[in-house]
Each structure stands twice: as structure tokens, then as C-alpha cells.
Structure 1
């Protein structure tokens, strides 16, 4: 399917170039016809016109094929994202289990060392007692009580020694089992990390295909990218940036002018999804992670948090919280990589703290679709910040959340 989509895109490029050449030739014919038209020139013009029509039919067929294949890519992206989320959850569960096992292993080791110390003291006492010869009852009848007492003490020591030995053996077995369990969990985690890496590679290949197809079917992506980057460079804050975006709307890039066609009923796979506040009813978390900062929490600066913050795993995938259109994708001041998604009715979702972003400006994304990745650097906490703003004013995103996560 991927090869077929690539083939369709190549056809689009070749045929578009052919049409451009054909239009130049047709224009030359028309200019010549304005002065004098011979029968031969008219036949040449009609032949060129027929060739253009065939080329147009070819590019329309290639477009339809590309759109159909792109729909398959969208489905594969969503499936890959769901699989990635499942594996991230499993890896996180294994990591938590490893932490618990390591705590148990440390306690078992401490208990084992304590038992060894106690057993050593007991053996020392037993050895010292055995060196003392019991008194002869025949020659020292007055020492009978001492002899009986010594025998009782020796018996008690032997019983305690046996109990301690059994306890020590049990501790040794428990410790060995814990070491084995830790080893197995580490192997499982390694296997999950390998699967996650393969899943990540698949996602990156799919998003590259979708982005390439979008840019091929869109006429103003490069100009729009420069325009929004200029806005980002001069914006003082997220609020002013969003105000600039709204003031310079519409920002969704236009299509390349469509050629005349009788078939206008087929929807464009990259057409914007229904942008309405209703999509927020299904707002989800953008990543698997632990909530470390809620909306309205007091910050070290004394201000209140204008969004939520999730502590994710290293290299965690980030997905679109809802159907939306990308209005910004790239670095922004000190926020790192940032995404701004327009959902409609003046609502924008702002995500920042990412390491990589996938979509491009104007691209439509579906809820749950991979749109970026968190850092895997050991010296940087993978904290993903999410804000929901209406007309630039922050709102609590959790108020809209249905409980599902990315």
C-alpha cells in the first residue's frame, strides 16, 4: 500500500509537469490562432487539447488513488498509535514491578544478613558451651542441678539453631527467587523496548508518507510555513501568538486550483475534519503519563498553571487529543517544540515540551493520531505541557476529558 501511494504521488508530479508544459503549448497555439488559423494549426490545437484532457484524467485518477491510499495510512497510523500506547503501558507496568522487586530484594538481602549475624552468634554460644565439660555426677553429686541445667540449655540452643537454619535457608531461597524475578522482568522490559522502537519506526514512516502526500496535494504549504514562523518569531507569549494567528486567518493552506471535472462528489481525504466545540466532548490525554501539575496549581513563580503537565516515559509518543487542524508546528521561544491545534469555535490546544513533531502546517489530524515524540535524554525530564485556550483565554482541559488517554 505504501509503495502504491508513493507511485500515485509520482504520477501526480509527472502528470502535473506534463500539464504545465501542455498548457504552455496550448497558449502558444491560441496566440497564433488569434492572427491566422489554418486547418493544420486547428488540428494541432485540437490534438493538444485532447492530450491535455487525457493528462487531466490521469492526474485526477492519481489524486483519487492517493486519497484512498492516504485513508489507509490514516487507519494504519491510528492502529500503530494504539499499539504503541499499549506497549508503553506494559513497559511502564514492568518498570513499576521492577522497582517493587528491587525494594523486596534489598529487604531480603538485609534480612539474610541479619539472620547470618544471629546464626553466627548462636553458633559461637554453642561452641563455647560445648567446650565446657559437664561435671561428673559420681564425684560431684552436688552439681547434678548444674548438669541438668546445661543439658536443657544445650537442647534449647540446638532447637533455636535448627529454627534459625531453616529460616536462613528460606531467606536464601526467597532471595534467589527475587533475583530471578528481577532478571526475567528486565528481559521483558528489554523486549518491550525493542517492540516500541520498531513501532516508533513504523509510525515515523507513516507520518512521513502522510506529510509528503499532504504537501503534494496542497498549494501554499511553504509560503504558509514561512508566514507562521515569522509570527512565532515576533510573538511575546502564547496568548499574543494565538491572537496573531486569529488576526491573520485563514491559515489553512488552500488547495492547488482544481482542474475542471464533472466528478465533485468525492471528499478530499485531507479536507479539514468537522471543527466544532463538539469534538472537545471526546478530548483525550495526549500521552500516557503521570499528572504532576493540574490546571490552577501554584507555580514557583507565584502564578497559576494555565494547563496540565504529564510526566511521560522517555521517547513516549504524543497523539492528537482531538480532531484538529495544525496551526503551528515547530520551536517557540523557551517552550521547545510546540504544536498548536485548532479544534473550532475559537478553541486551540497547545502542546509543548516535545522533542520531535510530525505534522506540518494546515494538516488535518485525527484524535489519537501520532503527532510527536518526547525526549529520551537522561538529563531532561519528559514533561509534556497541555493547554486549552478559547479566544486566547486558558481553560481547564480536564473539564472536557472523557477519561481516555493517548
Structure 2
């Protein structure tokens, strides 16, 4: 190509360069448009994810309320049914006694006075029997009145049982409706994340390798922290943490309980930082069947109960880990770590930034035995009591 004074000598070459320049400009324009469209798509996805997060938290709260109401109604129904059985049995006994006494009175009333004299017994016994039966009549009237009152009470009790049974059926229907809505929303979130994510897949693969190499929870946390500091870490680079001076045991209480409670910024519904509604069946530090002490708490939940993040944090691990089953590990803003396991399904993924109350998974739908959720809190790698002192003393938890 020849140049003269900055001009192209060959007009054909000049036209070719001009065409190439126009093609490049068009490609650049298309790329800018594509980038702008991708940015808009990312913004829409971010907005939709935020809406899904907020809606998910609202649905989880609604599920908690319906579950608490269902528990209350079931307890009330059981108490009323027991009371109804007790009253029915007592009334049956009293009716039998009253019927026997009335039968005796009726027989005496049908006997003429002259016949009483002919009865082969001393006259004073006959007179005494008549006096006793006459004195029994007012008592029988009082007993009949009390029996009528008991019958009215029993009738009202049965009406209350019927009403509460109806309320319970509606509550259970509402509970199932909200659970299905939450499941649909979770599936929608997962589909959206699949479209907007790619880098996290490699991180998830590396984390799966780490979990396969880790011998216990302390080693897994150590490896996850190393991976966070060095994202290029591969599963083959796993090395166990340095040996601690003491074996891993449950700490009786955190060093500063007030700071612990404040730092958790718990999802309160309506008390305590807890990931699921239920009853604590194994407390922190309790002796386990194998002789060790519990490093966390076990919570008996309703079937298919939602499991939520007790506080905001980042998902460091989501998957199966030996001895824990389905496990989610959250890193909190204060660098503590929350471990939640026992779920049948996990809806969180590694790298998720979750909010307090955001669904993480769902318990098993088993009705033969109540599923149990495991909840553990670790500070500097060591287990501490995950519940504030007041909540730890109660065996009922309400989220």
C-alpha cells in the first residue's frame, strides 16, 4: 500500500479500507448495544432477585405464623378432646348411679303402704328406708341439675372442638398453599440464578472437592477460608489446619453473650435467632448417646417446614458433608459461621448473599416421625451456644 501526504494512492484500496472501517464501526456499535442489553438484563435480574428475596422472606414469615397457629390449635384440640373424654366417662358413671337410685324410688312409689307392713323385716327398718329414700329425693334433684349443667358444658365443648377442627383444617390448607408458593418462588429463583451465573459453578466444584477431602467440620471450615483467601485454590491443594492445643469440644458459653446476640442481628419471629419453628429436643452441650457433647442444638420441626437464614450472611458451602447430610454454612458479617443441616432440600447455592429470614431449604415431608434440624454456631472455628441465654433456657422456639 502506497501513501502520499497521508493519502491512499489507489482508490480501490481506499474504498476497501473505508468498507472495513464501516464494518468495524458496525461491529462496535452492535457490541455496545449487546453490552447495554446485557447490562439491562443484569439490572432486571438483580431487581427480580431482590423482589424474590423479599417475597421469599414474607412467605417464610407467613409459613411460620401458620405453623405456630396450627401447633396452638392442635394442642388446644388435644386438651379439649382429653377433657371431653374425661367428662363423658364421669357422666356415664353418675348416670348409672342416678339410674339405680331412681329405679329404687320408682319401685317403692308403686308399692301400696299396706304392702310395706307385710314386708318380712322389722318395722323400724322399713320406716328408716322410707325416710332415707325421702331424704334422697332433694339430692337427686340437685344431682340431676348438675348433670344437666355438665351436659350443656359437654355440648359446648364439643362445639368448640368442631370449630377448632374446622379452623385447623383451614390453617393447614393455608399452610400448604404458602408452602407451594414458596417452593414455586424458590424454583424461579434457581432458574434465574442459572441464567445469571457462571463463575460460581467452578467455585462449587472446588468446594465439593474440598468437602470430599476434609475429615471433619474444622478441616472443612479451614479449607473454605483458605479458598476464600486464594480463589485459585484447587481441591488437590487441600491441607488440614494446624493442630489445636485442645480437641474440638462444645464451649459452655460464648465469651461475650450480649455481643454475640447483637452481632447475629437475628431473624426474630418472634424470639431468638433460629432457622426453623419447632421444639428443641437436644440442647447445646447436652450429652449425646455416643458420650460426646452436642456442639449445637437439634430442633424437631413440622414436616416440610421451611428453613431460613437466622441472619444475613454469605453461603460458603451448600451440599452434602459426611455426618451432616445436607449442609449449609453461612459466613456472618462478624466472621462467625452458622451450620445448618438435616434438610431434605437445599435452595441456596455457594456464593449467595442471603438476608435474615431468606429460605435456605425445606425439611422432609415425613409424617411418621418429626424431622430434626441441626443448628450450630462457630466462632474462630470452635462451637458456641447458638441461642441467647433466655432462649436457651426454653425448649420451645418460635423462630
The Cα offsets for residues 326-385 of structure 1, whole Å up to 9 and x where unpaired, read as 122223234332211111444210011112221111111100112122222123332211
Tell me what 1:376 maps to. Answer: 365
CA contact (8 A) 1:281 1:400 kept: no
The alpha-carbon deviation at position 387 of structure 1 amounts to: 0.4
Q: How does 1:36-47 map to 2 (within 5 A)?
A: 38-47=17-26
> In 2, Cα distance between the equivalents of 1:297 and 1:396?
11
Q: How does 1:244-255 map to 2 (within 5 A)?
A: 244-250=223-229
State which of 327, 346, 361 in structure 1 corresponds to 2:316: 327
The alpha-carbon deviation at position 388 of structure 1 amounts to: 0.4
> In 2, Cα distance between the equivalents of 1:214 and 1:139?
102
> In 2, Cα distance between the equivalents of 1:78 and 1:137?
84
Q: How does 1:193-342 map to 2 (within 5 A)?
A: 193-250=172-229, 279-282=263-266, 284-342=273-331
Mark the CA change 1:281 to 1:118 in structure 2 (over 3 Å): closer, same or farther. Answer: same
> In 2, Cα distance between the equivalents of 1:377 and 1:204?
17
The Cα offsets for residues 152-184 of structure 1, whole Å up to 9 and x where unpaired, read as 223223223323323333333322322222222
CA contact (8 A) 1:325 1:342 kept: yes
The alpha-carbon deviation at position 215 of structure 1 amounts to: 3.4
Mark the CA change 1:290 to 1:106 in structure 2 (over 3 Å): closer, same or farther. Answer: same
Tell me what 1:394 maps to. Answer: 383
Tell me what 1:67 maps to. Answer: 46
The alpha-carbon deviation at position 101 of structure 1 amounts to: 0.8
Tell me what 2:85 maps to. Answer: 106
**Normalised TM-score (structure 2):** 0.78
Tell me what 2:351 maps to. Answer: 362
Q: How does 1:139-218 map to 2 (within 5 A)?
A: 148-218=127-197
**Normalised TM-score (structure 1):** 0.76
The alpha-carbon deviation at position 144 of structure 1 amounts to: 7.8
Mark the CA change 1:340 to 1:146 in structure 2 (over 3 Å): closer, same or farther. Answer: same
SS where residue 388 of structure 1 aligns? Answer: strand
> In 1, Cα distance between the equivalents of 2:389 and 2:40?
41
CA contact (8 A) 1:134 1:147 kept: no
> In 2, Cα distance between the equivalents of 1:85 and 1:92?
10
What stretches of structure 2 of length at least 5 have no aligned partner? Answer: 1-14, 233-258, 268-272
> In 2, Cα distance between the equivalents of 1:282 and 1:146?
81
CA contact (8 A) 1:280 1:400 kept: no
Match status 1:95 vs 2:83: no
The alpha-carbon deviation at position 324 of structure 1 amounts to: 0.9
Coordinate RMSD, CA, aligned: 3.1
What stretches of structure 1 of length at least 5 have no aligned partner? Answer: 1-35, 254-275
SS where residue 165 of structure 2 aligns? Answer: helix
> In 2, Cα distance between the equivalents of 1:204 and 1:189?
22
Tell me what 1:6 maps to. Answer: none
